[in-house]
Structure formats: C-alpha cells, structure tokens
Structure 1
Amino acid sequence: MSKGRNWITRKCMAWGAALVLLTQPGLSWAEETDVTDDAVITAPIIKDANRFADLDQSYAKEAVERLASYKLVSGVTEELYEPDQQIKRQDFLLLLAKVIGMLPSGERQAPFADLSADSPYADYVNALIEAGIVKGRADGLLQGAEPLTRQEMAVLLARLIPVNGMIPASESTVQYADEAEIADFAREAVKVVTAKRWMNGSNGRFHPLEKVTRAEATVVADRILQERLKQAETLNFSVNAGKITLHPGESRRLEVKAIGTEQLPFTPIFTLDRPEIGEISPDGTFTAGASAGTGQITVSVGYKSIRLPVEVVAGGPSDSAMPDNTADKLINYAPDSFFSVKTTGTPDTYFHQLEQTYPGPVGGLVQPSDTWTGYLRQFGREITLTLPQETPVQKVRLSFQQDKKLGITLPAYMEVDLSKDGKAWLYAGKATHSVPASEETKLVRTLEVDVPSTDVRYVRVRFPVKVFVFARQLQVWGSEEQQDEVRYVMLPPAPQSVSWEDEKANDRIKNMVLAYSGGYGDLGTWKKEDFLPLVGYISPDGIIRDQMFDAVHFIPYPNLETTAEGWTNYLNDLFRPGRQLDALNEAMMEYNKRRGTLYIAPVKEKVILTLPYPNPKQTDFGKVREDQDSLSFSASDVGEERAFGYRKQALEWYFNQLKMRWDKAEFKYLQLDGIYWYNELIDDAVPRERELIIETANMVHQQGLRYYWIPYYGAPGLSEWKQLGFDYAFVQPNYYGNNPIPIDRIEATLEVANKYGMGIEIEGDDRMVRDLKYFQTYYNQLIAAHKLGIDKEKIHAYYYGSKSLLAAVNNPDPDSRAIYDDTYLWIKGRFAQQDYLLPQEVQTQAEEKPKEQQSTSQPASQTN
C-alpha cells in the first residue's frame, strides 16, 4: 500500500467484413535476401530520430519516427535509414497493407508466378488482391523486387479510398507541367491522390516515371496512417438497439451501420461482461442463456464504443439454453499453454512481495480453479500465453472479483492482443463491464472478447490495476477449423512522448515545499522565523547565501472538517496576521533585505493554495447562501446530479472567498501561482468525480492560475493527469516510510515521471533527524535520485510532515544539521554523494550512546 498524506497525518488512502485488430508488426525494408519468415522488426520505439545518422536533414525524419513507433519501418542497418534508396514494390505493398490495417490473408497460395506462397509478402499481397487494391500486371507477374514508380504508387493509393470507407477529396485544380508523361491508367489516380494531398509534385511537375524512395514512401504512408487514425477516432456509427431484452434461448442480431459513409471503415467488435447469461458471436448475434440476469454488450468500431444493456428474463417462449462450448466444438487451449505475467508499469519489488500473499492455484491463472490470483498496483498486468500450436481463436475470457471491503476492485476493462509469432501483435478488442463505480457489493464478473476466428499462436491479455485486482480462470477458446474470413486490422495510437514544458510562462516553480497548517498547535502555525530557512539557505554562520525553496504550498491537515464552518476556519487561519501567509510575506521581506534585493528587483516567493476536498460522504456541509439549505455531497442522499452540483458549488464558493481575500491582502513579496487539488487519487467510485476535477480546472484557469496535483505512486488516474486539466503533477515515490522499500522504487518513480511528464516529490519527516533508520532512508532517497539525475532534470515537491526540516537547521549535531545543508545542495544540483548509507555509518543525536555501548550496539534496522 502507498503511504499517502497521513503519517502524522499521512496514510495510504492506494471493415464491414473486416476485423478490428490493432497491430504492431513491421518488416524491415532490407534487401530481398534478408526477408524471411522471421523478418518482423523488433526495433524499439524511436524516441530520437537522430538514431539514424542519415536523417538529420531529411524531410522524412518526422514520418520515420512516427512509423517506427508503430514498428512499421526500420533502418537498412542499425545506424542508417537510407532515405534516398529506392523502395521495391513488395516492400511498399507490405508497408501499405500494415498502414491501412490489413491482416494477412490465409489463402496459403502464390498470388503471382514470381511470388511463392511461403514468401512473407504473399499473405499480405493476397489480402490486397482480395480487397481490390492490387491487380498485378498483364503478364501475371508482380515483379516485387523491382522499384516502384510514382504513378504506380498513385494508382495503389487511389484504390484505397473506397475500400477503406474514406471520403474522396474535392477534385484537384492542380495542373502538372508533365501531365502528358502520366500513363492513361494512372492519370485519374494522380488527380485523386493530389486532391487528397497524399502525393504532390515538385517545381510544378509530378515526375510520374521517377522511382519512389524510402523517404517518399514513408511520408506518404504516414499521411495515410494519420487519416486512418482520424477515421478511428471520429467515425460515427449506430446500432439497431438501445437495449436487448430476451427470454432464454432467444437470439437477436445487432446491426452496425456507418453514419455519413456507405460502409464502416473498420469491423465491429462485440464484447460481453457476463457470459453466464448468454453468448455474443462475432457477427453481433446475442443468444440468451438459461440463467436470468443483466449484463452489458460493448460494440466497438475503431476507437468509438457504444455500450448496450442486456437482460435475460425468466420464462417466455423458450426455456432452452444456448448451446455450450462443447456443442460449438470449441476447445479451451489455456490450461495447456505456457504463460508469463509482467507489469504494464515499472516492476516494484515491494508490491511484488506483497502480492505473493495471493499466488493463485498450482499451475497458475490458466487453470480451471476457483482460487484467486492477486495483483497489487504497478499500473496493470500483461499476461502472454503461448498456445500449444497455431489455432483459430474465437474468444478470450477472464474472471475478476470485487470486494471493496478488502480493497479489491474490478478493472475498468480488459484488452486482448493476438499474434502469430509473438512479435507482430494484433489488438483484438476491449471488454468493459456494467458495474457502477459506486457499487459496494461483493461480486464476480467474467469479461469476454469475441473475435472472428483468427489463426494465432500467441494471446495477450491486459488490464489495469488500481490497488488490488483478483483474477482467475483465464480461458482461450478456439476450434480446430478456421471459421471466418479475416482481412483487415486497425493500428493503435502512437505512443505519446511527453515533454515537460509549461507553455504559459517561463517562471514555473522549481522546488516547492509543503507547509501544513490549520491544526496541531505550533506544528501547524508558521511564523516568520519558521519560513526564513526555507525560502533562503542559511549557512552555519547564519548568513543567507542563496534561495532555497522557490515555492511554498499551503495545505490543510487531513483532519480538516468538510463543512462550511471548517473550511472558513481554515481560510481564516491562512490569513492570520503575522502567521501563515503573512509570516511568509514577512520572511520574504527579510530574505530580500539580507540579500540586498529589497529595493532593487525583490524576489517573490510563489504560493500554491489548496482547495479542500468536498468529501462525497458529507450530508450536512452547511449553507453557502442564506437562501439555501445545508448542502449534501452524498449521491445516495440527494442523487448524483444534485450531489455533483453541490460539491461544485462549495468549491466555487471557497475559491471565490480565497481569491477575494488574497487580492485584499496585497502581499508584496508573494505571488499566487496556482491551486492544488487535494485528493491524491481519482476515485471513480464517486459519481462524476472526473467531471468535477475538470470543472475545477476551468475555474482555476479562468483566473490565470495553474492547477496542481500530487498523486501517490500507482494512484488511479495518475497517467491521466493532463487530460483532467492539471498543469503540473508530481508523483510521490512512497519510498520513505515505516516499511522498508527497495531502492529500485526511486528508479521506478523516475520511469513513471518520465513516461507521463511529471515532477517528483522528495519525502521526509521529523524521524529523519532523530532516528538512524529514517536518516538513512532519507539520504538513500537523495542519493538514488541524484544517481538517476532527478535532482537536475525534474521539478520537485518536498514533503516533510510539518516543520521537520527546521529541526535540522538549528540542530547542534553535525550529522543532523547536514540534512539541511545536503538538501540545499541536492536542490541546486550540487549533491555529490554516490554511495548508499549503511545503518551503522551515522549516529544521530537522538541515537547517541556511551562509547562503551556503541561498539556492541545493533544496527538501527535490527533494533527498530
């Protein structure tokens, strides 16, 4: 479990006939002799196009980088892309098939006299032939190893439009000076691709007979890919039902139609969350089973989905159950399959050790056992099965349990990938469920993805993990005979690299310290002398040598009452004369005075203020207007709509009061930089929680302020912080705490921060000054972060409980004082220690013992 904010106060809260499949395959455009059955590229995502030394000045650099992220292209060598090299027909056809999302045909025959059936190109070329895109030459030859001309490429591209449900562009008005050189068979196609802006000439000429280079092919393929992805994201479709209600044994077929185009650009995929009440077939036919009950069918086309409630009611004209898997001649191949499990996030040793408490049955998740396997945090799991042999797979199932009293929740979805060789993966769909986030009942759901029979050897299942997910009985059903014809696939979105850059201003914070206030007496009461060592680094001789933290984040203790009175009291405390904000302003005046900047360009400290969290369990918040009754935030008390409205109203009321009082205070040496969202996770069990967060972001941004968040490591919603409207988010490593956490947690935190463009929080409390164990933990955190470059390459937040760092500032013990000095060096990127501390290396003041006892003392890690 993660530690959250409550130790003193801080604890873990924790196509029409085509199949929609996502793929990441790609054959290298190397010489023909280099292409084999294993020629699927495995090059990693290109994070830096300079990986290819010959692309620095190439116009194709961006397109190469994007297609390489899909594993659609690779270099001729490890270092060279050879952008000016001519591309062969067969290589372009391979690239084209994959860009439009086409699954290899299963015809197992030679499409042309000069292309054998066992060629790795054959199945793709067959699929293109069946789709009407490739027609070959009059002599029956493909001549795949020959270069491709620009006019030949234009013809292939023009044939894509009707096949893929694309909308033709308006007729082009472009006139090429060399139009007479364009062959009759290609003249119309050139007009079409010019209008689509897929191809264009240079210097007013089309150059129809010139050979296509790898750079040209990549740029054109990238343009088509972007249009296909846009199709997947923006297409509209309808289903001929809003709800299905059937008696046992009855069937109904769902018909999916495109809106705005004649045909669907991708195949509909149907998934079901309760196979026990019926069966959904790949063609959209739902057959009710013998058991009454309710569930949900999800219909997906491209990246759009429609969810339909389904109900099987007892009695009726037929009491016969649907045919079972045996009657359908389906076989569960999972129990005899080899499987492996990996985290979708960085593996965490500590969480892995904890989840071993629930190891599952002997033989693992694929066994037909009622024993649950537990998975703890680490973002999600990816389970890969190697089937005994290549088999036509039709459905994949996995059961999940929910028991919220034990912290076990259903994953929001389950995704399935398929592969022939374990390298080129196809996305086979996503199953969701109908269980609302507010449901507290203990229950089980079996998520199922049904696909047109697809001949594969490898199956991969993926699901997110918030805190604990319990799963059992992973099943892969198939038959020994191919059931369906499958032709096309759909590519996934490209991996998004996130750059840490504030587009609004150049004066972003760099180091933000948390200041808890509003309770706990002196610990929560900040004076000028408390803030001075935090805003300015005070050397041992008492001189302010430099700025320390450039921002202070005021935050209430977790015991703040969720009432109008409680929030008002905290607000009053925040603006107390001589304390809190006023004290910080005085400290900054003193800082500027000592640094000689009081009258010439005085430094202002940035301030981040907190919006208290409108607890959804509160039924009596109080009035925010005299003509209104006390607000209730509870959906079970006043309904979801009113609860959402009241929570939003309370936040607006508080924010307006806060902003009004800030403006009135006119702090000369402070700058209000942003507002903090208090809850450390996105709680989807709370109705419309995400909507509330986004509405709050809009409110904050309207005032020109930034929106901050500090989720704990592995918190639900962490990866979505930008979509939720936050401008900055810091991830808590949760390394510093009561339980010993392996040092690799820091490395894992850096990977998360880099992946999602986040800052990082450094953690400590009063125990680091008086307890050797925590002294060591704090320092090892700084050392590990320094070794990884976190001190120089990230912005940071710092949690110290309350005034813990002040205990080091004024401490006569050199080792304790060093905590403050070394923290300053770390902040400035000048921290140099590389070796981790062992428990017996340092003795803090509180741990001192008589000399005669020191030699026999046990290490702190054994005595605590």
Structure 2
Amino acid sequence: MRRWAAALIGGALLTTGLGAVAPGAAAEQPHDVALGAKYTVSTRIPNAQLQAEADAHYPDVGGRSLTDGVRAGAGFTDPGWVGYLQQVGRTMDVDLGSVKTIRSLSMDYLFYQSASVFLPAKVTYALSADGTHWRTAGSAAGNNRGTANEHRAVSLAIAPTYARYVKVVFDTNGYTFADELTVLGTDGRAPGARAPHGPAYRPEPLADQGYQRAGTPRVGGVRDMYLAYTYGPGNPNRAQGMWSDRDLLPIVSHVDTEGRPTDWMFDTVLWMAGGDASEYQDKAGWTDLIDRQFTPNVDVDALDHAVDTARSSLGGAPHRVKVVLPVPLPTMDSPTPWGELDGQTLDLNPDRVGGAKAAANRLKVVDWLIARSRARFAAGHYRNLDLAGFYWMYERIGPNSSDSALVQQTAASVHSHRLKFYWIPYYQAPGFQYWRSYGFDAAMLQPNYFFDDTLPASRLTSATQLARWAGLGVEVEGDEPMLTSPAAQQKFAAYLDTFHHEGADRALTGWYWGARDTTLGSARSTDPAARHTYDAAYAYLRTSR
C-alpha cells in the first residue's frame, strides 16, 4: 500500500502521490466523473421475452445512454430514456477508468404515473477501489408522490471517498425509465478522502419465501377465493353483475349436470367493483357499489340463500362461506369533486386542493366505504356468511407514492376492525414485491397468461416462481372463450397442471373466470369439453384441500 505524506510549505498544503496538488495550483472543481464511463447492467430475475420487448422499444443505445451526458425529455418516448421492464431489479456496474474522489451520486429517473412509470422504491450505491471488494455508500428512496410527469433524481451525498468503480442497484416497478448517472467528484485521490467504507455490499438473496399458504389464520382462513363481478348502472354488463341464488349455487357447491349439489366448492367469494375507474370517480358510483351488493335477493343476500340451498342437499354440519368486499381507488384526476360527506365537499385532486388535503379526503372516502359496508353486512344478519375483510381493487401500487400511503392507512383501518386486507396485482405490477410493507395480509399474483396468445406457456412457471420468491399466492384465470374454444380450454388446463406441478396448489388462490356467464356456462354446458373446465376446477380444489 502506498504511504502518503503531507507537509505545510509556505502556508500551502503539498501532498505527494496520486492526485497531488502543487503549491499555488487552483483546486479542481467537482464535475461529473462518470461522463462517458463504461458500464454493464445485469437483471435480478431475467426474463428473455420481457428483455427483448424493452430492448426493442427503449434500448440502451451502444450501452452508453446512461453516461453520455444527454438528458432525455419529460416524455417516455424520448430516445434518451432507457426502459427497464419488470424483472424485479437491475444492477449497474460502472468503471470510471481511474480512481476518482467522489462526493455525490445521483441517478435520474422518469415519473409518469398515468403510464405506470415509477421510480424505484430504493436506489443503493456501492463503491470499490478494485472492482472486487465493495462497500455500501448508502441508499436513497425514490419519490413517487404527486401527479406531474417529470425527471426525478435519486441522489446521495457522501463524505469525499476515493474509488474507481461504482455500483447502482435499483428495483423496477412496471417500466422504470432511467437516464443519466451523475457522479460528482474530482480526478485522483483528494487530500483527506477516505477509502470506500461502510457495510460490505452484498446482493440481496434471491431465496424463495415460499407460497402464501391457503387456509391459515394469516389469510383469514381463505383457501380458494372466487371473484364475482358486479357492475354500475351505465355498464353494459350490469345484468351479469346481478347474481341470484341460483347463479351462486355452482360457486358455493359443485353441481352435477342436472344442477344438483354434490360437494362444497369455493370457500370465499370476493365481490368485485367491475368496470373501469371512471365509474367510481364520485360518491354516486361508490354508493351504487354498496347498494347493489346488498340489494335483497341479489349478490351477498343471494349468496346466503345459495349456501342454504346447497346445505339442504348436502346435509352435514352447518357450512359458512367467507365474503370479501371491494375498495375502489379514490382517483385523484377526477374533473369534479368526489361529493359531500358530513356537510363537507371532498375534492380528491391535489392540483386543486393541495397534496395534504387530497390525501386526507381520499382516506375519508375509504373510511366511509368501509364503515358503510360493514354496517350493511351486519344489518343483513346472514346465517351462513362471515365477513373476512376488504380487497384493494387497484392492481398496481407505486412504492413511496400517494397510493401506497393511502393503502397503508386503509390497512390500518381494516385491521382496526379485526378484518383482513387482500390484493391481487397483475404480473410484475408496480409494487407487487412490496405487498407486505403496504399492509396487506394476503396477496395473489396474476399470471395474465390466458389473455395473451403471444405468451409462451412458460409464463405460468415464471409466475409461480415469482409468487414463491415474493411469498404470494396465485390466481387461476379463465374467461368466456373456455365455453367454445379448445385452445382456451387447454390454456385453462395448463394453469391447473402447472400450479400442481410447481406446488402452488397448496397456495392461497384467487379464481378469475370473467363475468358471471362464463362460470354458469361451463357448469350448465351440454358440451363435454366446456363442462370439463368446471369439473376440472372442482377436482383441483378437492385434491388441494
């Protein structure tokens, strides 16, 4: 190791060795020492198809876009942005070419919430003098609050530290768009600069957490959760969202081809707020959601009657079915205020009332829905139903965002009533790996394989691996094409086969079968292939209990 000596000569500091400053010489001003630096980027959980898609649309041109000094615009179509699509996270390893004295590190990202473009939850910076031994310089959180589409930097100031190599580690949430890495410093080793210090850098382990197990107290005893959709008055599917006890009989019990119950089937029904977000922008939409769920002889009330009917056929001990109720996203971009509560007009738009007021109003809306839904459920005096909890409808949650803060507050509200909080994010949705930190008790991952004919069957295996890694349950998916299409029927069968092979048949499971008529159509079909999808689902449930 080199030894360094310093002496005061004529009042000037003279340092011998690398980065020496001659007497009377002007001190070098900090500048971007990463400009033009070479780097490589590695992926945390690689997926070749996702990588090819990102490279085709938002490539790292020449492998130098992140250090070329060219700033991208505020739109994600600007070619200056490098798009990193899902795959959990990235690690950027940078060679500065020679030793530099580093004073700050900063990575520039794009925030574009309406397009699901979020900053990382956290960016970690590590430094090394030799490229082998790494020390963590520190971490900084990405800011996903607000609504403005803009550049946002995730920066870390440090005491002067000399190093040649820089490591930047960040998570990806949906699409993460990165532009410039800026490392402010000077050439060589400045007087007083320290060697890389801090904790030794070690990559976070990729060890599986294991699937979220079905039927445990943690998940409220839920094993198989059937998603039953309801729709608002302006939705063309409104009629399909009005479930009768006859409609629900094939859900709570397996029925034969004559419609007679043979055994119990789904133990939980999740009532979904069907349609898009525009149907829930105001109090009228939220009120209709509550009212339609608790209309006599429809939906929740009909479910209670269906359990009575099944029990009269099956006999045995009393049987109870769990109910989960929906919480829509209180949207911030509505052109008008949400409505009035307790004599106050609630506006959820932060551009009109400010971020703090909008956040408080959004929570008031959610608390009102939970209180009113609980009261209506209690007033029903259902003989065969238990309220298990509430479900967050929005399938993506950016970390460190206005939505994540609201979800955490909603979780606290749900838990204050000793109920459970559920979520089913889409495949690698923003924030899916942070579901526990958001306050959810249970979450299931959508594979989204059924709906995209361009996806290979390996998507199902990938989804189970991600679910196991993140400690999630899984979702079985199907829709109306199963009634007539052999290809769709084969896709549905692939879910059951893959989940069984991967051990996910013991995991907490959500069941998406589209609108009401898909399930009823398969249960009542005279086509053996269509009917088989219903019987296969029952056989899967039966063997996984």
> How big is the shift at 1:685?
8.8
* CA separation of 1:596 and 1:621: change in aligned 2, threshold 3 A: same
1:678 equivalent to 2:393? Answer yes
For 2:63 and 2:137, locate their aligned partners in 1 and report how far apart those are by CA, in whole Å: 26
1:637 equivalent to 2:346? Answer no
* CA separation of 1:771 and 1:424: change in aligned 2, threshold 3 A: farther
1:612 equivalent to 2:328? Answer yes
* CA separation of 1:612 and 1:443: change in aligned 2, threshold 3 A: closer
Contact 2:41 2:90 in 1 (8 A): yes
For 1:444 and 1:507, locate their aligned partners in 2 and report how far apart those are by CA, in whole Å: 40
1:468 equivalent to 2:175? Answer yes
In structure 2, what is the equivalent of residue 562 of structure 1? 281
TM-score scaled by length of structure 1: 0.53
For 1:402 and 1:611, locate their aligned partners in 2 and report how far apart those are by CA, in whole Å: 26
In structure 1, what is the equivalent of residue 73 of structure 2? none
> What's the CA shift string for 1:169-201, capped at 9, x where partnerless?
xxxxxxxxxxxxxxxxxxxxxxxxxxxxxxxxx
> How big is the shift at 1:379?
2.7
Contact 1:333 1:388 in 2 (8 A): no
> What's the CA shift string for 1:447-483, capped at 9, x where partnerless?
5665633445x53212232233333454666644475
1:819 equivalent to 2:526? Answer no
Matches within 5 A, 1:393-412: 394=102, 396-402=105-111, 408-411=117-120
Matches within 5 A, 1:197-212: none
For 1:770 and 1:690, locate their aligned partners in 2 and report how far apart those are by CA, in whole Å: 41
In structure 1, what is the equivalent of residue 76 of structure 2? none
Matches within 5 A, 1:337-736: 337=38, 339-344=39-44, 346-356=45-55, 357-365=57-65, 368=68, 370=70, 371-385=80-94, 391-392=99-100, 394=102, 396-402=105-111, 408-411=117-120, 413-419=122-128, 424-431=133-140, 437-443=145-151, 445=153, 447=155, 450=158, 452-455=160-163, 458-474=165-181, 479-481=187-189, 484-486=193-195, 488-490=197-199, 498=209, 500=212, 504=217, 508-519=221-232, 520-540=237-257, 542-559=259-276, 560-597=279-316, 601-618=317-334, 619-625=336-342, 628-683=343-398, 687=402, 689-736=403-450
> How big is the shift at 1:374?
1.7
1:796 equivalent to 2:509? Answer yes
* CA separation of 1:376 and 1:451: change in aligned 2, threshold 3 A: farther
Contact 1:361 1:369 in 2 (8 A): no
> How big is the shift at 1:668?
0.6
> What's the CA shift string for 1:597-628, capped at 9, x where partnerless?
2xxx2111111111233222343322233xx1
Higher alpha-carbon deviation: 435-444 or 694-703: 435-444
Letter in 2 for 1:578: N
> How big is the shift at 1:509?
0.6
* CA separation of 1:470 and 1:622: change in aligned 2, threshold 3 A: closer
Contact 1:409 1:467 in 2 (8 A): yes
Letter in 2 for 1:822: A
For 2:250 and 2:351, locate their aligned partners in 1 and report how far apart those are by CA, in whole Å: 48
> What's the CA shift string for 1:664-693, capped at 9, x where partnerless?
111111111111122222256964x33332
Letter in 2 for 1:635: P
Secondary structure of the equivalent of 1:415? strand
TM-score scaled by length of structure 2: 0.81
Q: Which of the two has greater strand per residue?
A: 2
Matches within 5 A, 1:304-343: 324=29, 332=34, 335=37, 337=38, 339-343=39-43
Contact 2:34 2:67 in 1 (8 A): no
Secondary structure of the equivalent of 1:707? strand
> What's the CA shift string for 1:134-174, capped at 9, x where partnerless?
xxxxxxxxxxxxxxxxxxxxxxxxxxxxxxxxxxxxxxxxx
Letter in 2 for 1:799: Y
How many correspondences in the alignment?
Answer: 499
For 1:467 and 1:487, locate their aligned partners in 2 and report how far apart those are by CA, in whole Å: 33
For 1:642 and 1:401, locate their aligned partners in 2 and report how far apart those are by CA, in whole Å: 25
Contact 1:526 1:579 in 2 (8 A): yes
Letter in 2 for 1:545: T
> How big is the shift at 1:817?
1.4
Letter in 1 for 2:238: G
In structure 2, what is the equivalent of residue 159 of structure 1? none
> How big is the shift at 1:552?
0.4
Letter in 2 for 1:785: F
> What's the CA shift string for 1:703-741, capped at 9, x where partnerless?
221111112222222222222221111122222213522
For 2:318 and 2:149, locate their aligned partners in 1 and report how far apart those are by CA, in whole Å: 59
Matches within 5 A, 1:120-131: none
Secondary structure of the equivalent of 1:490? coil
Secondary structure of the equivalent of 1:751? helix
Secondary structure of the equivalent of 1:828? helix
> How big is the shift at 1:570?
2.1
> How big is the shift at 1:781?
2.8
Contact 1:399 1:444 in 2 (8 A): yes
In structure 1, what is the equivalent of residue 23 of structure 2? none
For 1:437 and 1:526, locate their aligned partners in 2 and report how far apart those are by CA, in whole Å: 39
Selected match of 1:746 from 446, 451, 460: 460
Secondary structure of the equivalent of 2:62? coil
Contact 1:348 1:744 in 2 (8 A): no
> What's the CA shift string for 1:755-814, capped at 9, x where partnerless?
33211111121122223443333233333222212113x110011111212221122222
Secondary structure of the equivalent of 2:344? coil
Letter in 2 for 1:662: F
For 1:475 and 1:686, locate their aligned partners in 2 and report how far apart those are by CA, in whole Å: 24
Percent identity (aligned): 27
Higher alpha-carbon deviation: 775-784 or 653-662: 775-784
The structure number with the bigger radius of gyration is 1
Contact 1:416 1:449 in 2 (8 A): no
Contact 1:416 1:428 in 2 (8 A): yes
CA RMSD of aligned residues (A): 3.4
> What's the CA shift string for 1:539-581, capped at 9, x where partnerless?
4465533322110000111343333232222222111222111
Secondary structure of the equivalent of 1:438? coil
For 1:366 and 1:653, locate their aligned partners in 2 and report how far apart those are by CA, in whole Å: 47
> How big is the shift at 1:515?
0.3
For 1:555 and 1:682, locate their aligned partners in 2 and report how far apart those are by CA, in whole Å: 18
* CA separation of 1:437 and 1:331: change in aligned 2, threshold 3 A: closer
For 1:787 and 1:453, locate their aligned partners in 2 and report how far apart those are by CA, in whole Å: 51
For 1:563 and 1:588, locate their aligned partners in 2 and report how far apart those are by CA, in whole Å: 34
> How big is the shift at 1:407?
5.2
Matches within 5 A, 1:235-314: none
Higher alpha-carbon deviation: 743-752 or 652-661: 743-752
Letter in 2 for 1:698: A
For 2:432 and 2:27, locate their aligned partners in 1 and report how far apart those are by CA, in whole Å: 42
Secondary structure of the equivalent of 2:341? coil
* CA separation of 1:405 and 1:649: change in aligned 2, threshold 3 A: closer
Secondary structure of the equivalent of 2:409? helix
* CA separation of 1:564 and 1:481: change in aligned 2, threshold 3 A: closer
In structure 2, what is the equivalent of residue 842 of structure 1? none
In structure 2, what is the equivalent of residue 240 of structure 1? none
> How big is the shift at 1:352?
1.8
Contact 1:349 1:742 in 2 (8 A): no
Letter in 2 for 1:691: A
* CA separation of 1:472 and 1:576: change in aligned 2, threshold 3 A: closer
> What's the CA shift string for 1:61-88, capped at 9, x where partnerless?
xxxxxxxxxxxxxxxxxxxxxxxxxxxx
